Amino acid sequence: MTYKNIGNSPIPFAPNEFAKRVINWQRQHGRHDLPWQQYNQPYHVLVSELMLQQTQVSTVIPYFHNWIVKFPDFNTLASAQEDQVLNAWQGLGYYSRARNLHRAAQFVVAQYNGQLPDSPELLREVPGVGPYTAGAITAFAFNKPAAIVDGNVKRLFARYFGIEGDLSSTQLNRKLWQLAERYTPNHNNRAYAQGLLDLGATLCKPRQPKCEECPLQKTCNAFATHRVDTLPTAKKKKQIPTKQGYFLYSLTAAGVLLEQRPSDGIWPRLWSFPELKQASHEFTEHGSFKHVFSHYRLNALVYNASSENKAERLHHTALKRVAVEDLDQVGLPAPIRKYLDTQLQRLDK
């Protein structure tokens, strides 16, 4: 390990001292009331970890509660209908995760009789479980040693060790995992892993970190070299394109006209307003909405599809009407659900 010689770069704590401080801090100041911590069981840890991928804790919490009520264990989830799974996930985003979790339950039931394995290597074979999640399950569900590297750990390590450069590069990713392995304690890894995440979430935050309260401040490279605000190195962002979308809206006494989207692309397997590939003069305008995805902006135009025959003719995929009272049997994308809710509220008044 080489350290950039800026100012007085401190010598990092040895792994045992580092882990000891993280664990002690976690026990005194860390989070202990997160819903999934009340279980610490493999199923609950798996559910929470997949929900938490690229998603903030506060967003996940209500979904987690609802999920556990609907699908309390591996067997229940494994035998559930996909539409029910997607309905419970609707609004949470990254919908492949829902299908991965569904497949994961079926995999664990079929392969392991409902018992998750306790090693990162075997966990990696579970659908939706990557290197981070495999380590997290090993730590949280089994309290066994395994490294975790997520956004929090990357940021904390980049600052603590004074690592510059693009953290998403293969080279630095390898370095971060090596550091994470080296600093993983042989005991109490559940508290250690939770401590790393809690430090990253509450003290070593992206903006306005609270270095005064940090148990690692004394030997933090970024703190000593006044680089807390410049580490980790900001990566150059490329701007996202704007796409146009054209949807059909039709609400009758029989329900809402919907199509199930294909398994690839945006909103896979969710139910949405039927989408046209291009603008059409055959319909009148009903409304519009805008939506921002991680990789493009969507400007959507919604047509009045009073004539269902016309809609069918412009479409290859099967359309169906879903009664309003049956909308909780399918998963709707967030902006579609919003648009629909607005219309339904108008009808109630």
DSSP string, 142-160: H--------HHHHHHHHHH
Closest approach, Cβ 274 to DNA, in A, equals 17
Smaller CB separation from DNA, 8 or 56? 56
Catalytic residue among 49, 213, 259, 308: 49
Whether the CB-CB separation of 136 and 154 falls below 8 Å is answered with no
Smaller CB separation from DNA, 34 or 324? 34
Closest approach, Cβ 82 to DNA, in A, equals 14
Closest approach, Cβ 58 to DNA, in A, equals 7
Binding site for DNA (CB under 7 A): 31, 34, 36-37, 48-49, 52-59, 91-96, 100, 127-134, 136, 150-152, 155, 169-170, 194, 197-198, 200-201, 206-207, 234, 237, 239, 264-268, 291-295, 333-335
C-alpha 114/C-alpha 104 separation (Å) is 10
Return the CA Rg of the chain.
24
DSSP state of 296: -
Three-state DSSP at 298 gives: strand
Smaller CB separation from DNA, 266 or 283? 266
Tokens 């009340």 locate to 38
Smaller CB separation from DNA, 291 or 310? 291
Smaller CB separation from DNA, 195 or 283? 195
C-alpha 43/C-alpha 72 separation (Å) is 9
285 noted as active-site residue: no
Smaller CB separation from DNA, 75 or 173? 173
Kind plus residue range of the DSSP H or E element containing 254: none
C-alpha 185/C-alpha 43 separation (Å) is 24
Closest approach, Cβ 237 to DNA, in A, equals 4
Instruction: Judge residue 121's burial from the number of C-beta atoms within 10 Å of its C-beta, 0-12 exposed, 13-18 middle, 19 or more buried.
Output: exposed
Minimal CA–CA distance to 118: which of 126, 106, 110, 107? 126
Closest approach, Cβ 180 to DNA, in A, equals 13
Closest approach, Cβ 193 to DNA, in A, equals 9
Kindly state the tokens that stand for 20.
């000891």
Closest approach, Cβ 267 to DNA, in A, equals 5
H helices within the chain, ranges in order? 15-29, 42-52, 57-70, 74-78, 82-89, 96-112, 120-123, 131-142, 151-160, 170-183, 189-198, 221-224, 308-313, 334-348
Minimal CA–CA distance to 313: which of 287, 280, 340, 289? 280
Smaller CB separation from DNA, 176 or 283? 176
DSSP string, 153-217: HHHHHHHHTT--S-TTSHHHHHHHHHHHHHH--SS-HHHHHHHHHHIIIIIS-SSS--GGG-TTG
Catalytic residues: 49
